[in-house]
Structure 1
Amino acid sequence: MRISSFFAKIMFALNMIFFLILLLACIVPYTASASLAFVSLAVPVLVFVNMLFFLYWLFKFNIRMLLSLSVLIYGYFALDTFVVFNSIEEVEDTSNTLSIMSFNSLGFRGKEDEWKSTAGDTIVKFIQRENPDIVCFQEFDYRKIRSHFFEEYPYKYVDFNFDVDEDKVIQAIYSKHKIINKEIIEFPESSNSAVYADVIVQKDTIRVYNLHLESLNIRPSSIKRERSDKLFVRLRNSFSKQQQQSTIVRSLINKSPYPIIVCGDFNNTQFSNSYFTIKGSLNDTFLKKGNGYGKTINFWKFPFRIDFILVDPVYEVLSHHNYEINLSDHEPIMATIKIGNE
Structure 2
Amino acid sequence: MAGTFKKIRRRLWLILNICVVLWVLLGVYCMQVPPYEAWPAAFVAFSLPGALTLNFLFLLYWILRRSWFFILPLLVVILGWNYYARLVPVHISDKEIPEGAKTLQVLSYNTHLFNVYGGKGEEGRNGSSEEMIDWIATHPADVYCLQEFYTNRKSDTYNTVNRIGTRYDKYKVFSVSQAGPRNGEGGIAIFSKYPIVAHGDIRFHETSHNRVAWADLDVGGDTIRVYASHLQSMSIKPEDIENTYSSIGNQAEMEKEGRNVARRLRSGFVARGHQVELLLEHIQQSPYPVIVCGDFNDIPFSYTYNELAKELNNAFVQAGSGIGATYNGPLPFLRIDNQFYSDRLQAYAFETHYEMGLSDHFPISGKYVIEPKPELE
Tell whether 2:298 aligns with 1:268: yes
Tell whether 2:106 aligns with 1:104: no
For 1:179 and 1:297, the matched residues in 2 are separated by 30
For 1:252 and 1:83, the matched residues in 2 are separated by 30
Tell whether 2:337 aligns with 1:328: no
Is the 8 Å Cα contact of residues 195 and 210 (structure 1) preserved in structure 2? yes
Query: 24, 29, 32: which one pairs with 1:30?
Result: 32
Provide the alpha-carbon RMSD of the alignment: 2.9
Query: 20, 23, 29: which one pairs with 2:22?
Result: 20
The Cα of 1:277 is off from its aligned counterpart by 1.5
The Cα of 1:103 is off from its aligned counterpart by 0.8
Q: Which residue of 2 aligns with 1:297?
A: 327
Partner amino acid, structure 1, of 2:368? I
Query: 196, 199, 215: which one pairs with 2:233?
Result: 215
Q: SS where residue 194 of structure 1 aligns?
A: strand
Partner amino acid, structure 1, of 2:139? E
Q: Encode CA deviations 1:169-190: one digit per residue, 9 max, x unaligned.
A: 6211111111122212111253
Question: Which stretches in structure 1 are left out of the alignment for 5+ residues?
Answer: none
Q: Which residue of 2 aligns with 1:62?
A: 67
TM-score (norm 1): 0.88
Tell whether 2:340 aligns with 1:338: no
**Measured at CA, do residues 228 and 186 of structure 1 come closer, stay the same or move farther in structure 2, by a change above 3 Å?**
same
Q: Which residue of 1 aligns with 2:155?
A: none
For 1:46 and 1:112, the matched residues in 2 are separated by 36
For 1:335 and 1:341, the matched residues in 2 are separated by 19
Write the mapping of 1:1-342 to structure 2, written as runs, cut at 5 A: 1=2, 2-33=4-35, 34-77=39-82, 80-86=85-91, 87-88=93-94, 96-109=102-115, 110-143=119-152, 144-150=159-165, 151-160=167-176, 170-188=187-205, 190-223=208-241, 224=244, 226-298=256-328, 300=330, 302-325=332-355, 326-339=357-370, 341=372
**Measured at CA, do residues 12 and 304 of structure 1 come closer, stay the same or move farther in structure 2, by a change above 3 Å?**
same
For 1:191 and 1:19, the matched residues in 2 are separated by 40
Moved more, 331-340 or 5-14: 5-14
Aligned-residue sequence identity (percent) comes to: 30
Q: Encode CA deviations 1:153-211: one digit per residue, 9 max, x unaligned.
A: 43111112765899996211111111122212111253311111121111122211110
For 1:167 and 1:271, the matched residues in 2 are separated by 36
Moved more, 86-95 or 69-78: 86-95
TM-score (norm 2): 0.80
The Cα of 1:95 is off from its aligned counterpart by 7.2
Moved more, 181-190 or 247-256: 181-190
Q: SS where residue 258 of structure 1 aligns?
A: coil
The Cα of 1:45 is off from its aligned counterpart by 3.1
Partner amino acid, structure 1, of 2:48? V
For 2:173 and 2:105, the matched residues in 1 are separated by 18
**Measured at CA, do residues 83 and 77 of structure 1 come closer, stay the same or move farther in structure 2, by a change above 3 Å?**
closer
Is the 8 Å Cα contact of residues 352 and 364 (structure 2) preserved in structure 1? yes
Is the 8 Å Cα contact of residues 269 and 305 (structure 1) preserved in structure 2? yes
For 1:161 and 1:83, the matched residues in 2 are separated by 35
**Measured at CA, do residues 54 and 168 of structure 1 come closer, stay the same or move farther in structure 2, by a change above 3 Å?**
farther
The Cα of 1:125 is off from its aligned counterpart by 2.5
**Measured at CA, do residues 148 and 104 of structure 1 come closer, stay the same or move farther in structure 2, by a change above 3 Å?**
closer
The Cα of 1:7 is off from its aligned counterpart by 3.7
Moved more, 273-282 or 88-97: 88-97
For 1:56 and 1:85, the matched residues in 2 are separated by 22
Moved more, 158-167 or 282-291: 158-167
Is the 8 Å Cα contact of residues 169 and 192 (structure 1) preserved in structure 2? no
**Measured at CA, do residues 3 and 112 of structure 1 come closer, stay the same or move farther in structure 2, by a change above 3 Å?**
farther
Partner amino acid, structure 1, of 2:143? I
Instruction: Count matched residues.
Output: 342
For 2:67 and 2:99, the matched residues in 1 are separated by 54
Q: SS where residue 284 of structure 2 aligns?
A: helix
The Cα of 1:117 is off from its aligned counterpart by 4.2
Is the 8 Å Cα contact of residues 207 and 258 (structure 1) preserved in structure 2? yes
The Cα of 1:79 is off from its aligned counterpart by 6.4
Partner amino acid, structure 2, of 1:53? F
Partner amino acid, structure 2, of 1:242? R
**Measured at CA, do residues 252 and 160 of structure 1 come closer, stay the same or move farther in structure 2, by a change above 3 Å?**
same
The Cα of 1:136 is off from its aligned counterpart by 0.2
User: Between Structure 1 and Structure 2, which shows a larger proportion of helix residues?
Assistant: 2
Q: SS where residue 97 of structure 1 aligns?
A: strand
